[in-house]
Each structure stands twice: as structure tokens, then as C-alpha cells.
Amino acid sequence: MLLVRRVKNALLKCFHCNPTVMSILIALIILWMIFGSEPEFLEVTDNFLPFSKMDLATGRDRPFHPNCVNTQNYLLNSSYTKQNASFVMLTRNEELKDVIKTIHSIEEHFNQWFHYPYVFLNDQPFEEHFKAKVLDAAMGAHVEFGTIDEISWNFPSNVKDSFEFHNAIENQGDRSVLYGSMESYHKMCRFYSGLFYKHPLVQKFEWYWRLEPDVEFFCDITYDPFWEMFQNDKKYGFTIMIPELYWTVPNLFRHTKSFIRQEGVKLRSLWKLFTKDYDIFESDDADLRNWINSGVDARAKVSEKIAIEQLLKKGAESRSINDDKEGIMNLIKRARSKKHIVEDKFFNEEYNLCHFWSNFEIAQLSVFDNDIYNSFFQYLEKSGGFWKERWGDAPVHSLGLSLTLDLDDVHYFRDIGYRHSTIRHCPRNAVGNEEVNYAASDSRFERNNIVYDEGRDYGCGCRCICPKSKREIEDSVGFCVNIWFNLMKQHRGQERQADVLNGNEMEKSIREDYLKQFENQFF
């Protein structure tokens, strides 16, 4: 952590300073340990501005409404049309308490005004007690309960009854792969990766909003996300994007690239969000193109090549090479160096592990239910990766969607505050968000003496109350958000993750400098 490093360095430098200063420094460490985040006044230092304090809106994607809207007026607007959409949750009877918690949260912050239906799915029939409690919590919204058939939920019989299957699951547990030893988790990931949208109850709808048991929403959503996505030609929406754990998907990208080559898939621009492009050095020299995978390596590698070339040239011309120490050292270095290998690079690309955290996603069903995505899922199914490894539906969704979607088809719901498990995102409130009064449509959601977070510059949340116990996910795991933002700042059709170097021009320049440096000595 930035604060801890700075305080540690300060303590080392201040070993003999007065007790008052030492007390202040120690207090800062205690503050960090208690609150899990850096104090407000220490966040902007060394020219580093946290993402949560930045305006991430671009001309290509921005919050649909960067403040609260008057929901009553919104609903009465003649241009507004409610969409054919539903919430979808996969759950079990024993998770009733957490299911009710989720329903209460989404109803209070959104659905009390918009009344979208729910679909609950289970691999076992729902109990009557479960249904009654859910119907009561849903406040009159239409609710349907469905059971998942055996084929959709279980792995094929020739797989699930095999020694290899059970050995793979146990092996993942022995290696401490997160959830790898849980057969039910593998089934859930497989179902959400390519089968949930085939369920008859889900097939009724054009849009879906995925929910999970034990979810919290921190801000009011005073507009209809389905309608706004339809109006703005958005097909998929996320609120959290983070990197995946490597050992859950060590071979997912290899199989994805194999599918792309086999089917001749023409990749869309969303692909750039999830891949690291190593093809950054344009040169007539194939060896240099293969060796140089990073801009910081370029000049050194080109210089090495030229130095060796000149050394060998002098030898061929029977001129003394003993004084050419630079050439000799580069030749020795080349002889000792191993072939540069990037283990997970396939055809000059590598999966950067970023993915949309799919336990929250709002999407058109058609982004999954199409020929390319269905074929992609079947290809992955045949590879056995859903049980040989612990492929999550989040990276599968992300890579699969990048086969058919462009960056502009995707929307970042930055204004939606959301928590599931230990990960959460909560935006800063927009300035003036308190000016649109909260109006409950049900007495269960009346609010008295509620103090919302203060509105801030570049805030986009509506009546948010963010937890203070942890840092914002944009700041603590901002690697993927940074890639998204940088891509969305670029012009459509010209997105690149890295600048491409003109290798031929660089080689020409370095060769001229090299020859000028030594021409008096050897010519």
C-alpha cells in the first residue's frame, strides 16, 4: 500500500525525531489498519490521482444519467417504454435469507418504481416456504420459479462418472485452487457460461439482469437501465471489472485462440480489452519482432544486433576486432542468452486476465444466444476445461463476448453501487444529488433522517451511502479499469493497448549513430 510504504520510509528517516512526530506517524498506520484505506488528505500524492476521483466519462461511454432523475416524471415520459426484461437468480432453498436480502436491496433502490419480474432457478425444486417468502419480498412483482434439467446442470455421464473427473476436482483442492474442490461450483460456472440463457423461463425475455444471493446496492437507480441501454445501442453492461486468478484458467486462452483459428472468427474491438498485444515492433527482421515484446527492450536489442553485425563485418574484412569491446560483449551476451519465451503468448497475444465480474451483468440475451457464442461454449465444453480446470463464467463470458461485440456495445454502470462477497464498487455521489427528493412507493422503504454521502466533483451516484471499511475497487484493483479507460479515450476503430514502434526507422537511426561513433577508429 502506498501509505504504508511512505509511513515506513518516514519512520526509518525519523528514527531519532521527536516523540510528537513519531506519534503522528504511528497514528496514520493505525488509521489505515482500522479503515483499510488511506486518509482522504493522503490520496492525491506523487501526481497519482485515484480512479475514483477521476472523470472516466468519454464520448464513447458515460453514465446514462450522472445524477438522480425524477423517477415519476421519467416513467410518465411518452418516449419511455418498459422493456421485455427480467432479473435472473440461480439459488437454492437453503439460501433463502440471502435471497431475501438481495430482493429487499434491489427493490428499495430500483424495482419499487419499475416492477420488473424475477426468475429464480434451482437444480432442485423450490420448497413452498421458499416461494412464499420470495413472493412476499418481491412486493407484487411477477415471479417465476424454475428447475434446471439434468443435462443442463450435470456434466455428461461419461465425464462425471470417470476417474479422471474426480481426480481433477480433488487435485484442484490439493493445489488450493479457489473453489476448485467444489464440484457444485464447477457445475454452476458451466451452467452460467453457456446454458442459463437456454432455460425456457429465461428465453421469454430479451434482456436480463443477473442477481445473486447476498447482494447489496448502495445507490438509488432512478432510471431504467434496460431502456437506456436500448436507446444507446448498448448490449452488455458491467459494474466491476477485475483480473482473474491465473491458476483457475491456465489454458482458457489457448483454447479460445484455437477456436478462433478453427472457425475463422473475425475479432471485434472488445477483444483488445482482454488481451496483451506483443506485436508492437514493426520490422523486416523476424528475429527482432519475436524478441521484442516490450518497448523498454527495443533500443537495447536493436543496438545489440548492430554491434554484432559490425563486429562480424570487421572480421570478414580481416580488420582487427580486438578493440571492439562493445561488439565482443554483445556477441557474448547473445551467445549466453536464452530464446525469449512468453509462456502464455499465443500468436503474439496473451490473456491479461481481466474480466467483467459477471455476478452483476445487464445484457441482451442475444449476446450469448447466437451461433458464434454457442459454438464457442460447445468447443470449451469438449475441451473439458470446466472440470479439468476451474473456469469461471466471468472470464468465459468476457472472452466469448469479445468474439462478437465492439467496445462501444458495452456500458460501464459506474453509477451503480454494488457489493457481492467481499468485493464492492460504490461511486461518489454527484453534486446536487440531494436536490431530487426520494419518494418511496411502499411504506417498507420509507427513509427518515438518512444522510447520504456528500456530492463530489466527477461523482455520478444517486443518493449513495458507501461503506467506509474498504477502498474503492477502482483504486485497489485498477489495472483493468485503466485499460478500459485508455481504450475508450481512443478513436473508434483505432484502439490499441500499446504504441507500435517503427523498428526499421529505429534500426536505421541507431546504425547511423553507431557508425558515426566508431568511423574514425576503424575507417
Give the pLDDT confidence score for residue 470 in this predicted structure. Answer: 79
Structural domain includes residue 286: yes
The answer to whether residue 325 sits within a structural domain is yes
Spatial separation of the C-alpha atoms in residues 357 and 338, rounded to whole Å: 38
* C-beta of residue 426 within 8 angstroms of C-beta of residue 464: yes
**Among candidate residues 80, 3, 90, the one with its CA nearest the CA of residue 38:** 3
pTM, two decimals, is: 0.82
Across 451-457, average pLDDT: 92
In this predicted structure, what is the pLDDT of residue 348?
74
Neighbours of 356 (CB within 10 A): 26
> Is 334 among the domain residues?
yes
β-bridge pairing 215-217 and 207-211:
unpaired
Give the three cell numbers for residue 389.
480446470
Asked if the structure places residue 380 within a domain, the reply is no
Helix axis angle, 295-316 relative to 325-336, nearest 10°?
120
Residue 42, Cβ density class (10 Å: 0-12 exposed, 13-18 middle, ≥19 buried): middle
What percent helix, strand, coil does the chain show, rounded to 5? 45, 10, 40
Residue 91 located in a structural domain: no
Strand partners, 118: 87, 143
Q: With cut-offs at 50, 70 and 90, classify the pLDDT of residue 328.
A: low
Helices vs. strands in the chain: H and E counts, helices first: 21, 16
The radius of gyration of the chain from alpha carbons, rounded to an integer in Å, stands at 28
Dihedral, 486, 490, 495, 497 alpha carbons, nearest 10 = -30
pLDDT confidence band for 231 (50 / 70 / 90): very high
Asked, for residue 508, whether it belongs to a domain, the answer is yes
Work out how many domains the chain is built from and give that number.
Answer: 2
pLDDT band at 299 (very low <50, low <70, confident <90, very high): confident
Provide the annotated active-site residues: 361
Is 142 inside a domain boundary?
no
pLDDT digits (tens, 9 = 90+) for 154-169: 999 999 999 999 999 9
Q: Which contiguous run of DSSP H or E holds residue 501?
A: strand 501-502
Q: Scanning the structure block, which residue is given the C-alpha cell 534500426?
A: 507
DSSP 270: G
- Quote the domain boundaries for residue 303: 281-341+502-522
CA nearest neighbour of 462 among 423, 436, 424: 436
Neighbours of 459 (CB within 10 A): 25
Q: Is the pLDDT of residue 248 over 90?
A: yes
> What is the share, in percent, of the chain residues with pLDDT greater than 90?
66
Give the list of residues 6+ apart from residue 266 with CB closer than 8 angstroms, or none.
none
Instruction: Give tens-digit pLDDT for 45-57.
Output: 345 689 999 999 9
Within-domain flag for 410: no
